[in-house]
Amino acid sequence: MFDPGNMDALERVADTLRVSERLVLTCHVHPDGDSLGSMLGLRLALEAMGKKVICYCQDQPPSNLGFLPGIDRIVHDVDVPLDSGTTLVMLDCSETRRIGGMGPSLVSSAGGLVVIDHHLGQDMCRELSDVPCVQYINPEIFATGAVCVALLDVMGCDITPDIATCFYTAILTDTGSFRHSNTTPLAFHIAARLVESGADPYEISDRIFERVTYAKLRLLAMALDNLTIEAGGMAAIMHISLDMLERAGASLFDADDFVRYPRALDGVEASALIKETEPGKISVSMRSRSWFNVAGLAKSFGGGGHFHAAGFRTRGDVSMWRSRLAEILSRELAQKQEQNERNG
Ligand code: 5GP
Ligand code: MN
């Protein structure tokens, strides 16, 4: 059995799931491999226990995750208020608004709430004193999917090949293929266990990373063309506009991993990818290499995430956000660098 830390909280989560007969599992808007893998793997385990489970996610899954078992059964609309006694399980998401527009009505009509996440979001249980609530939130753990593996162990559930595929995808994507700074020995241990249980590492990586459309490559070429280096070489910024999407014949999902290119530039500490999601609406992805906390910056704009990977959604246009972020990153990176130098 794996110990991801805070086993008491995990036991409480397991107890709640055991007694729940009807569940709605949900995750954050613009879902990724971790949120979808966690949701679909946990559903398979709960269904094997004879429970009635609905997976709800506001947004469509990215096409490269179409191989995940049960992905076609995710619903994008659900009747609210929920049937009485339904337990709502939030995965990879600990803020009501990160569920999307349905968040408030789902949360307020749930008979019980379970939160499993590795982001520091809201303290849902404290805020919802009128709904029975248990939460397992551990920002030290690399993927929500890893918490789910430990949870299944606590509940005594089998990890079938399909479940292993879901959770392996969660861990693979949230550790950036075991390359990000969150990659711990436990990540390899759990991944090895999932491969033993039937996840196919070659097939999964191939499906996620090695099947690129021509439209995506065209979009990447356009984005690289507008990359600028800022903050005396410590930052780099790129953008995707609706016009670029149209010209490339691509979708925003195609740009999901583009933010790694500006960060990969030698000498760059922080990168930002500004995406126009609708006219006047912007989503910003940020990454850092070592010492700059992009989650702090994202939080100051109402977003969140992790030290090295964070984002926020806002209003405005691309050029305004390009200059605003260039200015802020220049200032904050210089300040932090000065601090680092003072502290030796
Ligand atoms: P990405 O840049 O890949 O969309 O997200 C990087 C990280 O930041 C992920 O952990 C994601 O959950 C988090 N993140 C991205 N956008 C937002 C946002 O608008 N709000 C919050 N709270 N977190 C975000
Ligand atoms: Mn995650």
Do 288 and 332 belong together in one domain? yes
What CATH number should be reported for the domain holding residue 255? Answer: 3.10.310.30
Do 129 and 232 belong together in one domain? no
pLDDT tens track for 222-268: 999 999 999 999 999 999 999 999 999 999 989 989 999 999 999 99
CA proximity to 93, closest of 75, 106, 79, 83: 106
Ligand 1: residue of 313, 314, 325 to mutate (most ligand atoms within 8 A of CB) is 313
- Measured from the Cα of 310, ligand 1's closest atom is 8
Number of structural domains in the chain: 2
Do 253 and 337 belong together in one domain? yes
pLDDT tens track for 191-233: 999 999 999 999 999 999 999 999 999 999 999 999 999 999 9
Protein residue with least CA distance to atom 11, ligand 1: 305
Q: Where does ligand 1 bind, in terms of residues with CB under 6 Å?
A: 28, 95, 98, 119, 285, 303-306, 309-313
Residue ending a domain, choose from 145, 177, 208:
208
Do 183 and 287 belong together in one domain? no
- Region 144-150: what's the mean pLDDT? 98
Q: Say yes or no to pLDDT of 1 above 80.
A: no
Do 176 and 265 belong together in one domain? no
Share of the chain above pLDDT 70, in %: 100
Q: Say yes or no to pLDDT of 190 above 90.
A: yes
Do 186 and 328 belong together in one domain? no
Ligand 1: distance of its center to the CA of 277 in Å?
14
* Coil/strand/helix, residue 337: helix
Ligand 1: residue of 119, 283, 315 to mutate (most ligand atoms within 8 A of CB) is 119
Q: What would the DSSP string read from start to end of 10-55? A: HHHHHHHHHH-SEEEEEE-SS--HHHHHHHHHHHHHHHHTT-EEEE
Residue ending a domain, choose from 208, 242, 261:
208
Per the DSSP assignment, residues forming a β-bridge with 301 are none
Q: Say yes or no to pLDDT of 76 above 80.
A: yes
Question: In terms of residue numbers, what domain contains 232?
Answer: 214-342
CA proximity to 173, closest of 26, 31, 32, 27: 32
Residue ending a domain, choose from 177, 208, 239:
208
How does DSSP classify residue 75? B
* Coil/strand/helix, residue 289: coil
Task: Tokens 């149209």: give the residue.
Answer: 246
Q: What is the pTM of this model?
A: 0.90
